[in-house]
Structure 1
Amino acid sequence: MNVDQSTGEVTDDAPESMELVPLNLAALSEDELLAVLPTPVQAAGALIRARETNARAPRALSRYRGILRKAQRDKKVALGRAVKDLRAEFPRATLTELRELAYGADERVIAALDAEDDAWLAFEYAKDFAAAIQEDIEILRSLNANFRGEHR
């Protein structure tokens, strides 16, 4: 999302370049400061949007957790089938040896491991995203509290 500072219009396109907030705020003019800082309405809108996103987080986390559990079950099934197939080929091998062979050579097990890794990464990303939204909400609450105090 991008906000045109002159009109206040919000667009979905990303800005072409990311600008950093200047560290020397005292040297900025009032217009430059207004362009850098959000308005009370923008801060309140951002808080509303963050809360809406946060409300969807438990359902999204549950979905990613379900995908991860399914991938883990699929890995166990693939490993079991591979060990069973390898048992016929290597009747004297121990279960540990058969598992090691399955992890290294069986395409079903390798694909299941990759799927589990992908699901785990997606779940961890979702957890990190949910935590980041919580942090954003705390920052936005603070901003909104400061704006309320300044505009009385």
Structure 2
Amino acid sequence: MNSADPLFTPVVRGTFHRAIDPRFHRFAIAGSRAAGRYSRADEPTLYLSSSVEGVDAALIAHRDTRASALEIIELDVEAAGIVDLRDPDARSRIGIDLADAMAPWQQDAEAGGTPASWSVRDRLVEVGATGLIDPSRRRPDLWHLVLFRWNEPSAPTVRIRERDR
């Protein structure tokens, strides 16, 4: 399969949001530094939200492990090769069960296991995806963009939108 395959969404382009510890602003697009829903600790992954409300919804599960003062930054993204997990046809064609993507993952990861959502990532990488659209578990009207690769050849591009300071 390739990015022109109907399995993948048309190019995802727009402004996305990410909460970061202001002390690490210069690393804002370096990706995750710890295990996440779709990433083992050694798999750089960039978690973005389509809205500020999406950032807030996503952070509810991480309030105890994050810095108390977070900065929400805006990023310009252009991404091909994205699988939309909200699309039941795409999930069916790939062989992904949405329940695996939505299942709690932290306890499995902490116990040294393999969360079901990591297997979702593995399958998406296997079919050539560069990332996924993830429906919010807290608010079904919101969604997130998760990138497995970015800012390298044949990968999505991500740029920090600098505000006037």
Q: For the superposition of Structure 1 and Structure 2, which TM-score range results when normalised by the shorter chain?
A: under 0.3
User: Comparing both chains, which one has the higher relative contact order based on Cα–Cα distances under 8 Å and sequence gaps of 6 or more?
Assistant: 2
Q: State the structure with more CA Rg.
A: 1
Higher strand share: 2
Q: TM-score, normalised by structure 2?
A: 0.20
Higher helix share: 1
Q: TM-score, normalised by structure 1?
A: 0.21
